């Protein structure tokens, strides 16, 4: 093909047909430019196809991370729900039958049995349940967000290739909110103070059942009773938050799956 065009060019020059040669040269330049543009278009199309495939792979992986978050959130909801009701039981059994969160009483989450207590909350003095309640006061399950996929999306720059701005905003907002909502410093502080107050009295929570009346640890120590109230409020907040974000994940997964289908 190149030899063919070269012969035409040489023939036009030898025949001294400059004007025709000029038109030919312009046409040749145009053909070259069209070829370059087509090559660039094909290259761009191929790069976009690879980018879409890569982003879709990350989005599918992101859905798996979100499902892992849901599994943990369900456990957190149940654990904190048990903590709320078992610690309210302690407060009431220790002489505060009208226990509430304050003038505007916070709505208490529904009761969820845990793996160590699968029955209802006792209505009277029950030493095994008191022991379990003391145990739940000093320990809980923290929320560790599965963030490997979102981190890769952002670190590789692929997050910017998501054209759905609403989806990008919802994904970004989810991870920002999870970091803030389940920030554990305040909750850890109340638990640490509660545990230290027991240790300062020479008590370890596994020894509760050995005491003549474990409730004396609350009734005779107003400061410890206040720590307990803070723990209840924080556990109630976390149980509600876990339930809310479990549902938010359902909506976010639907959004992501629709985006994958449409891409």
Per-residue model confidence as pLDDT tens digits over 204-230: 777 888 889 999 999 999 899 889 988
Q: Which residue has the tokens 């078992």?
A: 86
3-state secondary structure of 139: coil
Spacing of C-alpha 230 from chain mean position:
25
Residue scoring higher pLDDT (107 or 149): 149
Residue 6, classified by CB atoms within 10 Å of its CB into exposed (0-12), middle (13-18) or buried (19+), is: exposed
Asked whether 75 and 114 are in contact (CB, 8 A), the reply is no
Instruction: Name the average pLDDT for the chain.
Output: 82
Q: What are 117's strand-pairing partners?
A: 114
Asked whether 223 and 61 are in contact (CB, 8 A), the reply is no
d(CA 31, CA 8): 15
Sign of dihedral through CA atoms 51, 57, 63, 68?
negative
Phi, psi torsion values for 159, nearest 5 degrees? -60, -35
| Residue 21 pLDDT level (bands cut at 50, 70, 90) | very low
Per-residue model confidence as pLDDT tens digits over 235-259: 998 999 999 999 999 999 999 999 8
pLDDT, residue 262, reads 79
- Considering only 27-41, 47-61, 111-125, 158-172, which range has the smallest mean pLDDT? 27-41
Asked whether 161 and 55 are in contact (CB, 8 A), the reply is yes
Per-residue model confidence as pLDDT tens digits over 69-92: 999 999 999 999 999 999 999 988
pLDDT, residue 151, reads 94
Residue scoring higher pLDDT (67 or 118): 67
Q: What is the mean pLDDT of residues 154-171?
A: 91
pLDDT greater than 70 at residue 23:
no
**Per-range mean pLDDT, top range of 43-52, 197-206, 244-253:** 244-253
> Which ranges of the chain does DSSP label H, i.e. alpha helix?
2-14, 18-93, 127-137, 148-155, 165-181, 185-200, 216-219, 222-262
Per-residue model confidence as pLDDT tens digits over 59-72: 999 999 999 999 99
In angstroms, the first-to-last Cα distance of the chain is 40
pLDDT, residue 7, reads 59
Q: Minimal CA–CA distance to 80: which of 235, 221, 197?
A: 235
């Amino acid at each position: 093909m190149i030899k063919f065009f070269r012969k035409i060019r040489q023939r036009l020059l030898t025949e001294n047909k400059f004007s025709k040669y000029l038109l030919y040269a312009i046409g040749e330049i145009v053909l070259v430019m069209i070829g370059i543009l087509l090559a660039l278009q094909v290259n761009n199309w191929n790069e976009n196809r690879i980018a879409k495939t890569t982003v879709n792979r990350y989005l599918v992986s992101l859905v798996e991370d979100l499902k892992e978050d849901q599994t943990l959130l369900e456990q957190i909801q149940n654990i904190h729900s048990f903590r709320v009701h078992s610690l309210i039981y302690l407060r009431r059994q220790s002489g505060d039958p009208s226990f509430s969160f304050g003038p505007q009483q916070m709505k208490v989450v529904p009761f969820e049995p845990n793996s160590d207590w699968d029955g209802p909350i006792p209505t009277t003095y029950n030493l095994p349940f008191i022991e379990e309640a003391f145990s739940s006061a000093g320990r809980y399950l923290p929320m560790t967000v599965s963030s490997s996929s979102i981190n890769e999306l952002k670190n590789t720059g692929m997050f910017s290739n998501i054209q759905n701005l609403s989806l990008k905003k919802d994904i970004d907002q989810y991870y920002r909110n999870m970091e803030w909502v389940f920030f554990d410093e305040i909750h850890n502080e109340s638990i640490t103070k509660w545990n230290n107050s027991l240790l300062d009295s020479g008590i370890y929570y596994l020894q509760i059942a050995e005491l003549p009346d474990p409730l004396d640890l609350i009734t005779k120590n107003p400061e410890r009773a206040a720590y307990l109230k803070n723990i209840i409020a924080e556990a109630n907040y976390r149980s509600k938050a876990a339930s809310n974000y479990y549902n938010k994940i359902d909506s976010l997964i639907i959004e992501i799956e629709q985006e994958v289908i449409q891409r």
